[in-house]
Amino acid sequence: MKKRNSKSLVLISSASFTLLASACSTISTTEPSKTSMAPTESATTIKKVDPFGKYDPPIEVTAVRSVGASVKYNPGEDLDNNVWTKEFLNTLGIKIKYTWTAPDAQYQQKLNLSIASGEIADITAVNTTQLKQMEESGQLEDLTGLYEQYAAPFTKEIINQDGGLALKSATFKGKLLALPYTAGSLGDVLWIRMDWLKKLNLPEPKTMDDVLKISEAFFAKDPDGNGKNDTLGIAANKQIFEDMGSLRGFFNGYHAYPGAWIKDASGKVVSGSIQPEIKPVLAKLRDLYKAGQIDKEFPVKDGGKAVESVIAGKYGIMFGSDWFPYYPFVDGKTKDPNMEWKAFAIPSIDDKPAKVTVAFPVSKYFVVKKGSKHPEAAIKLLNLFCEKEWGKTADIEKYSVAKDGIELFKYPLVQTWPALKDIPDTYLALKDALETKDPKKLNAEQKAGYDKILGFMSGDSGINLINWATMRQKAPTDSSYAVEYNYKKENLLMVNAFYGAPTPTMKEKSSTLDKMTLEEFTKIIMGVVPVDDFDNFVTQWKKLGGDDITNEVNVWAETQK
């Protein structure tokens, strides 16, 4: 499931925003505005417009997007025909035409070619590197004035829940050039197959050593009882730190933070990928791989293949997001009703509590091509998404997650998520309502979760096990939300120390360094090169641009003080 997982972030400077209690005016059906102001018009001269004004006649905007394997539709529907496309057309008079789509794994490559050729759609989702590239090449519409004019108050409140960092990251030389996809992150949790754990009479994990013992037992002691040596320990995929089967949480258990910029003892910002703590983790993963507890073919399997193995009941341990109960665990439990997963905090290898890596709360940006006929359309699409997800006219089962578990919220392209929505807001609201047996203070989304948890407690797992999944994610105890709330409460978050636009050397050399890092880590884990080769890798990483990038990051960091 995506990620109905926007969570509070340690970077947030103020937790005083109260998004879900705030009022948002009901969508207007009054006469629409048919004109838009110039992007550079001063905010002091902004003409008020209806943020939900309908185009008459309707307009068409082009877009491109990635479509993941977890996106599912009701019979007769698809990306171009669903509840959201109808809502956008009926309420806003906007029809979205996708000029192309691609699976997640191919999207970035295809988009890079489009950017290089200048053949871009009206609205596009880009990463930070692509955003900077398009800014430098003058391909982007200035949204500064349009945002002030067309963004609904409710939309602005959501985007600003992180204290303004998201908008700041999308602003260049005083110009807002993108709409940030805000989605707070509270790091990975540890998921364990509890039915296997109980069958083998193993204790719940409290340390990383416990996790290693569980992994060994899941591999060697036939936990599924089929008499075959066909089960594995820890899920992994070829990207190592990304997607389903990420090993990032495993590294965190050893106080290692690959892929993140962290502060060392002197306060300098350094790359977590080259720190001494990485080496023993690679050595341990090498042992697990040699023993067969990690899929021997993980170096050639992407996250989708890792998910297939989880659904098929081959893995018993998985590090990753709080929303895994909705996908892939529900799919696995549909095949095997005895499958039972439970979330745990990332345990530590020693007596020092493990901290989990927290990403910057913006994972991508929505940009508008310079010269687009209706650049404000992207903002109006965002307004409607926010309103129907969390505003006064929100309808969870119609627009977000259907009764049968289909994740309808994945259909719209332009989105943003409240950083405080899940943790602490939803978790604490549900905890209070369940303890007091009084749901009157809950908003629509929270009430839907409340009803599903009560349904599960009463013995009803729900259609497609949606009640079970909600319980595993949102219950006051023994849930991923409970784990993440404790991360925040106990200050167990390792925040990424760099969240600016790519530095000059990053743009030139990051892709090469990232590829080199992935290849080196994979070769060590597979036993192709000795563990001590990590030291040579660090030396080469620094020489090939790593030191220059580190210096640039620290120059940036000084400007943020």
pLDDT tens per residue, range 375-392 = 999 999 999 999 999 999
Which of the four pLDDT bands, split at 50, 70 and 90, describes residue 72? very high
* 266 CB neighbour count, 10 Å cutoff: 6
Q: What is the pLDDT of residue 37?
A: 35
**Taking the complete model, does pTM exceed 0.85, yes or no?**
no
Query: Is position 545 within any domain?
Result: yes
Query: Is position 449 within any domain?
Result: no
From 63, 112, 104, select the one nearest 84 (Cα to Cα): 63
Query: Is position 530 within any domain?
Result: yes
Looking at the structure, tell me whether residues 174 and 193 fall in a common domain: no
- pLDDT > 60? residue 32: no
Looking at the structure, tell me whether residues 204 and 320 fall in a common domain: yes
Q: What is the pLDDT of residue 20?
A: 31
Query: Is position 470 within any domain?
Result: no
Looking at the structure, tell me whether residues 314 and 370 fall in a common domain: no
- pLDDT > 60? residue 7: no
Percent of the chain with pLDDT over 70: 91
Residue 436 has which token pair? 């007091």
Looking at the structure, tell me whether residues 332 and 384 fall in a common domain: no
Looking at the structure, tell me whether residues 323 and 387 fall in a common domain: no
* Range of the structural domain that residue 313 is part of: 188-357+502-561
Query: Is position 497 within any domain?
Result: no
Query: Is position 315 within any domain?
Result: yes
Looking at the structure, tell me whether residues 353 and 373 fall in a common domain: no
Q: What is the CATH number of the domain that holds 525?
A: 3.40.190.10
Q: What is the pLDDT of residue 185?
A: 66
DSSP 94: E
Looking at the structure, tell me whether residues 132 and 36 fall in a common domain: yes
Percent of the chain with pLDDT over 90: 79
Q: What is the pLDDT of residue 529?
A: 98
Span 427-485, pLDDT tens digits:
999 999 999 999 999 988 899 999 999 999 998 877 779 999 999 999 999 999 999 99
Domain boundary among 370, 386, 410: 410
Q: What is the pLDDT of residue 105?
A: 78
Looking at the structure, tell me whether residues 133 and 273 fall in a common domain: no
Span 184-223, pLDDT tens digits:
667 899 999 999 999 999 999 999 999 999 999 999 999 9
From 210, 215, 209, 257, select the one nearest 232 (Cα to Cα): 215
Query: Is position 462 within any domain?
Result: no
Among 88-92, 239-243, 453-457, 522-526, the minimum mean pLDDT is found in 239-243
Q: What is the pLDDT of residue 43?
A: 43
From 451, 450, 444, select the one nearest 388 (Cα to Cα): 444
Coil/strand/helix, residue 106: helix
Query: Is position 514 within any domain?
Result: yes
Residue 490 has which token pair? 């106990």
From 309, 319, 304, select the one nearest 191 (Cα to Cα): 319
Span 236-290, pLDDT tens digits:
999 999 889 999 999 999 999 999 999 999 999 999 999 999 999 999 999 999 9
Q: Structural domain tally of the chain?
A: 2
Q: What is the pLDDT of residue 184?
A: 65
Domain boundary among 345, 379, 410: 410
Looking at the structure, tell me whether residues 511 and 524 fall in a common domain: yes
